[in-house]
Amino acid sequence: MPHTPEDKKKALTRLRRIRGQCDALERALEAGSDCAPVLQQLAAIRGAVNGLMSEVMGMYVHEEFGSTQDLNAEKKKSIDTILSLVRTYLK
């Protein structure tokens, strides 16, 4: 979980945006919208959830392994590589 006030605010802002997207999707389904816009909205929601997951995972990894200032260059590079791979997977 995000522990700093800034990280918590960023995560909650993303979550509220996702909630808004879900509400819009619900309205579109209730209105009987065409499939293409519904699928586009679903893809946007999935991307937003994956973005939130990536952000929280990054916070967790940095918290678990210490701040990047406390790490040597090799470990910092390894953490950055792992997070980059996870972000690529989530796209």
The pLDDT value given to residue 70: 67
User: What element of type H or E holds 9?
Assistant: helix 5-30
Q: What are the Cα distances from residue 1, in Å, to 7, 23, 39, 49? A: 9, 25, 30, 15
Ranges under pLDDT 50 in the chain: none
In order of start, what are the domains of the chain with their CATH numbers? 5-89 (1.20.58.1000)
Q: Is the pTM for the entire model greater than 0.75?
A: yes
The pLDDT value given to residue 19: 98
User: What element of type H or E holds 15?
Assistant: helix 5-30
The pLDDT value given to residue 73: 83
3-class DSSP string for 21-72: HHHHHHHHHHCCCCHHHHHHHHHHHHHHHHHHHHHHHHHHHHHHHCCHHHCC
The pLDDT value given to residue 69: 66
